[in-house]
Chains A and B, each alone.
Chain A
Amino acid sequence: MTILEVDGFSLSFGGVHALRDVSLTVAEGSITAVIGPNGAGKTSLFNSISGFYRPQKGRVTLSGQDVTRVPAPRRAAMGLGRTFQNIALFRGMTVMDNVKLGAHVRMRTGPMSAMFYMGRARREEVRVRAEIEREVFDFLEIDHIRRSPVASLPYGLQKRVELARALAMRPKVLMLDEPVAGMNREEKEDMARFILDVKEQWGVTVLMVEHDMGMVMDISDRVYVLNFGQRIAGGTPAEVQANPEVIEAYLGADDMTTLRERLRGERGAA
């Protein structure tokens, strides 16, 4: 079953073609990865799927519904969660408030009942808080920092909080833009385990962009490769690794170690 489908996205900024006729499908309950050299258009693809960018051409379908014209907040409410390449947490807020914001679309309190904070509003706050404690904080092991302001946390933990915020939404599809970038080995392993658990225990479909080939090849069910805005390959990790065009794309990019090198053992280098 396909839960997310991108059909022929083309997006350009002035003369820069960030995406050219990109299509992909994400199977429900899978981990699907998008890889490609820097500037290949991966983040642009994510932004187009979540509704920040409006591709000039193409359609996107979520759970069988065409959402091409649906604004970003509505797509989120339909179950599309995401994290950002450069962490987009609310730095002044505590971890708890950040994660509660993730649950925004699941809550109903309006301004009136909020101000009186009686009955429904209070119950809802308490309920959502308990759910977050139970489902998200214990799972991601961040209960001890729930009251800390986000800005005071180390980078690796911030990434984890951002994942927590996306999970609090109880998304159907979770998009992760470079979830382990800048992490040390141990943090990467933790994150890889969390992502697998999200898929297996939560039954959430994951679509991720990642440069860490070791991790991509380890946990993904399907991998798509972008280069200069074009999709040059798609298939199982094994198929993609064997694809000469893919190897070429990585060889052609000066600023990256070659895919070949990366695939040979040396895991976790960013």
Chain B
Amino acid sequence: MRIGSPKETYAADESLFRTRTQWVWFGILLLSLVLYPFMANLYWLYLVCLICINIISATGLNILTGYTGQVSLGQAAFMGVGAYTVAWLDNNASTPFIMNLLAAGAVTTVVGIIAGLPSLRVKGLYLAIATIAASFILQFIFINWESVTRGTRGINIEPPTLFGVEFDNPDTFYWLVVPVTVVMLILAANLFRTRVGRAFIAIRDRDISASVLGINLPLYKLMSFAIASFYAGIAGGFYAYFYGSINPESFPLLLSIFFLAAIIVGGLGTILGSILGAVFMTLTPELLRYGVDVLEPFVHDASALLSPVRTMVFGLLIVGFLLFEPHGLAEIWRRIRRFFHLWPFRN
């Protein structure tokens, strides 16, 4: 007889949410996502849409960097590929927007696999630099392939329509981007219930013993790049539809750093981390903007400070989290939960 882990729980071990409480919380979360648009104003709906786009992209990057250990600074450029794919299709083909979005994912996947090829030879810092190079090349293409991208003038995109509804405002767009985000998060979480996700983690943790277990390193590294860039492509496609216009400056290297920061702050190698990180990093600039508004009457030219201050705050957050909370907000969240779990009985 063994104590503590009875056989009945085996099936539960395999499920996405282990306990009934977790299912209840998931239900409450879904319900609040449904109710939210009826209570929030346009600005807050706008923020949630933006957060969702960032969550999708951050989740992709977290699969690649957090779970597979392949540092990438190309996520923003990959989003650009998705955005331009949507833009081009929107302007040149009359395909429905769902097709365009999937095409954005597909095209970006291919680009991501090519950009991931250096990972077969190099890792760590060298791989990071190789991905920076890839994003500069993509940037160059965005600017110079004028027949497709219209260069620095940028390109406009019509809002998507579905069943006659036009998703031209955050209050409608919400119903498009939120469900897709939820689905993509579930897909990502599922990945780590299977051999594919385990192989990713194995590659991150010890690539020697991964190969002794028969894991084909090149195949899985490229697979991870493929999935990460598929997510980036979808996020980029949404970005294009959401803002209605894009240009090469929409996807700077700084945005890739933003996503890297998001997963570090949120928690590398956890799905929850991608969510928390994206929320936190999207809201921080808003908070700063609010701070600037408050300071405006007292400080000369406060708004001019906004941009440099924002960059500095991002930098400080990355360094701070790396130093003091390397497992990110997800870990803080776990601690809070444990606290309340034991709460009345804690000493």
Q: Which residues of A contact B (CB under 8 A)?
A: 50-52, 71-74, 76-77, 82, 84, 88-93, 96-97, 100-105, 107, 109-111, 114-117, 121-122, 124-126, 129-130, 133, 143-144, 146-147, 165, 169
Contact = CB atoms under 8 A, between A and B. Distances in A.
Question: Is chain B's interface secondary structure helix, strand, loop, or mixed overall?
Answer: helix
B198 A76 contact: no
A147 B195 contact: no
29 contacts: A52-B211, A72-B211, A73-B213, A73-B217, A77-B214, A90-B206, A91-B205, A97-B198, A100-B195, A100-B198, A101-B202, A102-B213, A104-B199, A105-B214, A109-B196, A110-B196, A111-B227, A114-B191, A114-B193, A114-B197, A115-B188, A115-B190, A117-B190, A122-B14, A124-B194, A129-B10, A129-B13, A144-B2, A169-B214
Chain A contact residues: helix, strand, loop or mixed: helix
A110 B226 CA distance: 13
B32 to A, nearest CB: 25
Contacts of A92: 201, 205
Interface of B: 2, 4-5, 10-11, 13-14, 187-188, 190-191, 193-199, 201-202, 205-206, 208-209, 211-217, 223, 226-227
Nearest to B188: A115
Contacts of B5: 143-144, 146-147
B213 A101 contact: yes
Given A52-B208, A143-B2, A104 B215 contact: yes
Contacts, number: 112
A115 B208 CA distance: 26
B198 A101 contact: yes
A101 B210 CA distance: 8
Contacts of A91: 205
A133 B193 contact: no
Contacts of B214: 73-74, 76-77, 104-105, 169
B203 to A, nearest CB: 10
